Amino acid sequence: MERKDKSHAFKATPLGIHEQKSYLARLVSSQRFIAIIALAFLVLLAFPLARSYSRKMVVEKEIADMQAQIAEFEKENEEMKEFLTYLSSEQSAEEQARLNLNLKKPGEAVVIVETAKDNEDSQGENAETESSSGWEKWWNYFFK
């Protein structure tokens, strides 16, 4: 009987390994296992792709902002060039001489026109000083 037990035990081990291999082989070859592995692979790929897409969008936004700034600076540059051209012209030099230096061309007459507001201001000051008494003048001098 010992022989049968030993042979029976010997035969059971190879059958157990064979059954385990077939279970693993069936598990690996099943569609669910393949789908789970594929899904896990896709998830692992999705994170780096999402991160690179996010970076790409940020960079594209920065590029668009920089291009808008470039366009704005180019516009300002053109305006400055036009202003520089105007300042270097004879007309600008003549205008600045007339306004700032009170110069005139030979044969021209200068006329100063007072506006009504200027007249009212000067008349109001004169009327106030004439009607005020001495102490009111001092009060206004120190506290107004």
CB atoms within 10 A of CB 135: 8
Residue 141: both structure tokens together: 């001098």
pLDDT average, residue stretch 85-112: 84
Same domain, 143 and 99: no
Give me the domain span that covers residue 79.
47-108
Same domain, 137 and 84: no
Specify if 18 maps to a domain: no
Q: Which residues contact 103 (CB under 8 A, 6 or more apart)?
A: 97
Specify if 19 maps to a domain: no
Number of domains in the chain: 2
Specify if 137 maps to a domain: yes
- Report residue 106: phi and psi, to 5°: -60, 135
Rounded CA-CA distance 84/100 in Å is 19
Return mean pLDDT, the chain.
79
Specify if 75 maps to a domain: yes
Same domain, 100 and 143: no
Residues 129 and 137 sit within 8 Å (Cβ to Cβ): yes
Same domain, 117 and 104: no
| pLDDT per residue as tens digits for the range 16-54 | 555 556 777 777 778 888 899 999 999 999 999 999 999
Rounded CA-CA distance 67/89 in Å is 33
Specify if 141 maps to a domain: yes
Same domain, 82 and 101: yes
| pLDDT per residue as tens digits for the range 124-134 | 555 555 667 88
Same domain, 104 and 120: no
Specify if 103 maps to a domain: yes
Residue 57: both structure tokens together: 């969008």
pLDDT confidence bin for 121, thresholds 50/70/90 = low
Specify if 23 maps to a domain: no
User: Quick check: 70 pLDDT over 70?
Assistant: yes
Specify if 14 maps to a domain: no
Determine which of 17-26, 64-73, 80-89, 100-109 has the lowest per-residue pLDDT on average.
17-26
